[in-house]
Amino acid sequence: MKREATKLRLKKMLNDDKEEINDATRAAVLADFTHIAKEYFDTDTVNLNIKKGKNGTDVSLSFRASRVKNFTTLK
User: From the CB of residue 75, how many other CB atoms can be counted at a distance below 10 Å?
Assistant: 2
Q: What is the pLDDT of residue 74?
A: 83
Q: Which amino acid is at 36?
A: I
Domain ranges of the chain: 2-68
Mind listing the pLDDT tens digit for each residue in 49-74? 988 878 888 899 999 999 999 988 88
C-alpha triplet 43, 48, 50: angle, nearest 5°: 165
pTM above 0.75, yes or no: no
Q: What is the pLDDT of residue 66?
A: 95
Mind listing the pLDDT tens digit for each residue in 3-54? 888 888 887 777 666 667 888 999 999 999 999 999 999 998 999 998 887 8
